Structure 1
Amino acid sequence: MPFFLRTMMKVLRVPKRTIFIVVIAFVLGSASIAYAIEPTTFHTWFNALYWVMTTMATVGYGDYFAKTVRGKIFTLFIYVFGIGLLSLVIGKIIDLLSTVYKHWEAGKLNFHGKDHIILINWSKKAQYAIEEILSFSPSSHIVVIDESDKHPVTDRQEIHFISGDPSSEEILEKAMLKQAKAVIIFADTRIDEPALADGKTLLIASSIERLHPAIHTTVEITQEKNTKNFRHVHVNDFVLSYDAVSRLAVRAALQQGSSEIINQLIRREVGDDIYEIPVRPEWKTYKDAFQGALEYGATLLSDRGDLGINRKLNDPIPEDARLFVVSDEQTYRRLLAI
């Protein structure tokens, strides 16, 4: 028994590639031997290969079987060694799949794709962001980078997790930063000191802008006084985490009903939403764009961050304009189709 156990342990430690090569050689060699022993039984080498595979798999359809003594002895040989080898291969495959899943769950696998969205630092806000992204575009792929060692959303295969320091070039390359569509950096909730949290966010943003200056980066900032530092590293958009909640609460108290409007605009699954529409060639002024959108039931809201364009309707639309409207999704789809 000790000899048997030692032998089994040695076999289990054999590299997977070696085992697969041995099994393939065994199958092909067995098929050749079977065809050489009983050519009139199998007629072709492929039929012999088919018989070897069904024998090793213990299926045994009975359409081919050994008829000579030598053939039956060889069949016993396949029973003893072939079934064992096949079981070993199946075990190795299961072990490989289990290892891949564990590495995926632990965030050790590289992401392979493009036009994805990268979320950095896991928190409830990141979870809500995922729900919002998928409600707008269910086919979107999302990569979460966090310093934890376990995948935060294991039930969604379109969400890839990478464990590590988000300011590290190696980790950002694992997330395919240069092929990503956008990056959202949330403040690290594990850091209690706001200044330190913003410092970490700034370090991450600097690494991202250095590696991929053209990518759109949005960051969450905990202290308003730090916004100038983020502008210095060319962050595209930033959100003041506590400021937004406080202002929304005050507006709800002083202007009753206003919070419901804002909630609709920031939640894609409720009511109307904000959409960017292309500038039509026939739209020369903001008035043309306003009336053109209104005909479809949408309200022109802004050109980029300029909310005052409805007070300058006669101004020409600049070439680099980005027009945003308020509408439902169906109206937005019709505006895209015109």
Structure 2
Amino acid sequence: MSLNQLIQWYFRTPIVLRLLATVAFCMIFFGSIVHWIEPDVFPTVFDGVWWAVITGSTVGYGDFVPLTFWGKVIGIFLILAGGGVVTFYMATVSASTVKYEQDLSRGKLEYKGKDHVIIIGWNERTKQLNQMIESYAKNEHVVLIDNSLKEIEYKDHDFHYVRGDATEDETLNKAHIKDARCVIITSDPSKKERQADQTSILATVAAKGLNPNTFIICEILTKEQIPNAKRAGADTVVRSNDFMSTLFFHELYRKAHIKPFDTLVKQLSNQQYKQITVPEKLVGKTFQNCSFEFMKQEELLLGMEQDGELQINPPAQTILKEDAHLIMLSTLRK
């Protein structure tokens, strides 16, 4: 490597590494010089470097002390030059650490991982979803994209925050969309329903365009926009309005009223939906027989997907085929 290439490499290196290299050079330089001047006091180069580090950092153990005139002159230059470099290095490291934490809280840093889940939108639904992930899926890596939060305390949440518009490539790339396992797009509560749906659909198009293989769950508020969300590339469309209306209806007309907090919603929040391929031992058995088997494991069989048709609570005597997928409900376990 030529001198010119070495200089270019030096100035292209991050400032913290440059300062570290400068500190190392100064310590080795002064340590070698003092070893050459006073070999009796500093028998090895390492002893000289040790003295240079201790002196330059102003610790001053006193185990090695230059005795000659020129040795003391080297010590003076070391304190003036090396000490300033070490102090500046420590100050730069401290400032860089503070800036890193600030950028992390403000959503300015790019996510570097993969096989993660991207959640778009910070609202009560995503807050609860993140709490459930933290409690029941501790190994899951989550990246939050939101444009409304100016800052979020990263120490209070186990996710990486990216601030920006989820419909823009720059923001999605900062969230490392190309290696994301799943993207959850929630509706913006600050917008009107139709406008919120259009934004969700646009975010779906952007995410699918950058990563065609990622699984996208999209929340849609109006029934008319469901086909557009599917055409945009959403693998699953969740219409929260339908779900909430159904809950309101059943809560209104159920006969037995129980404790206010012991509601259906609370019960469902402690349950996990699972979809599995029918076990080999249950192929050819009836749906009823299969239900009894899973009851032994404290799991509730809700339905199945067979022959391209989804059936919830199918006839008890329905025979399970080899390609069937079972849908069940089980208690979430931490």
Which TM bucket (shorter chain)?
0.7 to 0.9
Check the 8 A contact 2:104/2:154 in 1, yes or no: no
Task: Determine the C-alpha separation between the residues in 2 that align with 1:108 and 1:148.
Answer: 14
CA 1:149–1:34: 2 relative to 1, 3 Å: farther
> Any unmatched runs of 5+ in structure 2?
1-14
**1:84-109 C-alpha deviation (Å, 9 max, x unpaired):** 21111111111222222222222221
Structure 1 Cα separation of the partners of residues 231 and 80 of structure 2: 72
Q: Which residue of 2 aligns with 1:223?
A: 222
Shift of 1:149: 5.5
**Within 5 A, what are the aligned runs for 1:30-179?**
30-148=30-148, 150-156=150-156, 158-179=158-179
CA deviation map 1:128-179 (0-9, x unaligned): 1211221221232111111236233422463111122211122212211121
CA distance 1:169–1:265, shift in 2 (3 Å): farther
Contact 2:133 2:140 in 1 (8 A): yes
Corresponding position of 2:195? 196
Give the fraction of aligned pairs with identical amino acids, expressed as a percent: 24
Amino acid at match of 1:182: C
Give 3-state SS (helix, strand or coil) of 1:70's partner: helix
- Measured in 2, the distance between the counterparts of 1:165 and 1:119 equals 12
* Partner residue of 2:326 out of 323, 328, 332: 323
Shift of 1:36: 0.9
Give the 3 Å change call, closer, same or farther, for CA 313–40 of structure 1 in structure 2: farther
With over 3 angstroms needed to count, the CA separation of the structure-2 counterparts of 1:181 and 1:87, relative to structure 1, is same
Residue identity in the other structure for 2:62 = G
Q: How far, CA to CA, are the matches of 2:90 and 2:276 in structure 1?
A: 54
| Deviation (angstroms), 1:62 | 2.6
Q: CA deviation at 1:77?
A: 2.2
Cα deviations by residue, 1:189-209 (Å, 9 ceiling, x for unpaired): 222x21111111111111122
Structure 1 alignment gaps of length 5 or more: 1-14, 334-338
- 1:257 Cα deviation (Å)? 5.6
Asked if 2 retains the 8 angstrom alpha-carbon contact of 1:194 and 1:223, the reply is yes
Q: Structure 2: how far apart are the matches of 1:59 and 1:30?
A: 16
Distance 1:126 1:84, change over 3 A: same
- Which moves more between the two structures, 195-204 or 238-247? 238-247
Shift of 1:113: 0.7
| Aligned match of 1:307 | 312
CA distance in structure 2 between the partners assigned to 1:222 and 1:326 by the alignment: 26
| Match of residue 11 from structure 1 | none
Structure 1 contact 153–159 (Cα < 8 Å) conserved: no
User: Alpha-carbon deviation of 1:180?
Assistant: 1.4
Query: How many Å separate the matches in 2 of 1:297 and 1:77?
Result: 76
Letter in 1 for 2:130: I
**Per-residue deviation at 1:114?**
1.4
| 1:180 alignment partner in structure 2 | 180
**1:173 counterpart SS class:** helix
Question: Is the 1:162–1:175 Cα contact (8 Å) retained in structure 2?
Answer: yes
Distance, in Å, in 2 between the alignment partners of 1:110 and 1:56 is 36
Q: Output the aligned Cα RMSD.
A: 2.6
Q: Report the alpha carbon displacement of residue 264 of structure 1 after superposing the two structures with TM.
A: 4.2
Q: Secondary structure at the match of 2:312?
A: coil
TM superposition shift of 1:124: 2.0
Q: Which moved more, 1:78-87 or 1:63-72?
A: 63-72
Q: CA deviation at 1:312?
A: 4.7
Aligned to 2:6: none
- Aligned pairs for 1:244-323 (under 5 A) are 244-255=243-254, 256=256, 260=262, 262-268=264-270, 272-277=271-276, 279-285=278-284, 287=286, 289-304=290-305, 305-309=310-314, 311-319=315-323, 321-323=324-326
**Could you tell me how far 1:329 is from its partner in structure 2?**
4.3
Distance 1:284 1:121 in 2: 42
